[in-house]
Structure 1
């Protein structure tokens, strides 16, 4: 019998973030077996305890999946302590259920970003063994040689982590820079930037163009659309 904290249990049901769940619990909005509980870490077993929010039974929402073309300059978080604009600005005015980012893109990066309230699906997408490959187009300062491209796949050690690309190739060369296509089969923090920095290749622009077979296509900057059933199911069962 596995017990989890009350706030974590609420967030795992896809009804809100863990931070928001903590606020609900501390505000006295959540009851367990008819008794108001104000401790976010109060241990519960989802299938054995009756959990209510504002007097209503806790029920998982209808699963929802969408893709966003994240603009550069937005932070991938619900709320930012520094007051910076977040990716949720792109949903202003839209009537959507609570959704969370599936994976992340840093502030300076742009491109394909997934959102869902299906936490089990999200775990599969971001899992190193179960998730699909991610494809990026990266503009770098300099013109990497064939040896450097091969070394990107071999990988480097950085801060105790092995960083490597699944594949790397040149898309086009400029007079002083180059566009590369880099494919990752895992998602470590700032992985591409750290990997390229090891070879003195500064990143000028980084765009995620595909996750598995799902490509960003003609989706404009800041635009989003709901995924089809075939799309979200294919992402959960990638072929490598």
Structure 2
């Protein structure tokens, strides 16, 4: 006879992160510093198992229900040259420089853009919303404009959509079309329905095509539009729902 599973237990650091209070790394730091209590007792183990609704968790003496921040959903026009991380071990400038002085509290990027890429990047303190957007099964398409160092012909564009084997996996685009071409280079519109590490750069490299610029211009129905480089804005309730609503 199968024994029923008990209540689901979640590590303490993950609980704080999922509440949108801080990142998992920051939560682990708070816990190790003795600033987190479970049922009135200081716990210093970030993996301490907790059960929702059973344990009372407090940070600096305040219950996490009292400290839960207002939900934030932002879009940033990421400049080229910034790293998409909270802290960079090499000391490089990160995307958080764009929020200096804004007093937003903890926010995390939804997906990534590498250092050399630019354009639309979402931020939130709502992990569930972020997970729906980055889901490989149900997340919205991402649209990019890519300047390349040649003028690909139609068969090559079709091959990018068909897919190519690269380092043990198949890379492909949902769609690729030529936007415009000059004498020696061209702009492509590339749409992805999945998010793999440096996917566009690796896909194009497989065809010996170099990337000169890579700009994300849309996620689902959300367009980058005229948002200036390095600037951000809050999403409307309609935009939030369209991107990752329940």
TMscore range, shorter length: over 0.9
**Pairing of 1:31-70 with structure 2 (within 5 A):** 31-59=37-65, 60-70=68-78
Is the CA contact (8 Å cut-off) linking 1:69 and 1:222 kept in structure 2? yes
Question: 1:135 aligned to 2:151?
Answer: no
Cα shift at 1:61: 2.1
1:217 equivalent in structure 2:
225
2:4 equivalent in structure 1:
none
Question: 1:25 aligned to 2:22?
Answer: no
SS of the residue 1:123 aligns to: helix
Cα shift at 1:46: 2.7
Question: 1:15 aligned to 2:21?
Answer: yes
RMSD (CA atoms): 1.1
Question: 1:74 aligned to 2:112?
Answer: no
Normalized against structure 1, the TM-score is what?
0.97
Question: 1:116 aligned to 2:124?
Answer: yes
1:187 equivalent in structure 2:
195
Cα shift at 1:103: 0.5
Give the whole-Å Cα distance in 1 for the aligned partners of 2:29 and 2:203. Answer: 38
1:226 equivalent in structure 2:
234
Give the whole-Å Cα distance in 1 for the aligned partners of 2:84 and 2:41. Answer: 36
Alignment match of 1:174 (pick from 182, 195, 205) = 182
Give the whole-Å Cα distance in 1 for the aligned partners of 2:29 and 2:236. Answer: 33
2:3 equivalent in structure 1:
none
Question: 1:146 aligned to 2:154?
Answer: yes
Please give the per-residue CA displacement for 1:16-50, whole angstroms capped at 9, x wherever unaligned.
Answer: 00010010000000011111000111111232211
Cα shift at 1:175: 0.8
**Pairing of 1:157-172 with structure 2 (within 5 A):** 157-172=165-180
Is the CA contact (8 Å cut-off) linking 1:130 and 1:236 kept in structure 2? no
Give the whole-Å Cα distance in 2 for the aligned partners of 1:162 and 1:58. Answer: 43
Cα shift at 1:237: 5.0
SS of the residue 2:243 aligns to: helix
SS of the residue 1:111 aligns to: strand
Cα gap change, 1:210 to 1:42, in 2 (>3 Å): same
Normalized against structure 2, the TM-score is what?
0.95
Is the CA contact (8 Å cut-off) linking 2:77 and 2:120 kept in structure 1? yes
Alignment match of 1:6 (pick from 12, 21, 24) = 12
How many residue pairs get aligned? The number is: 238
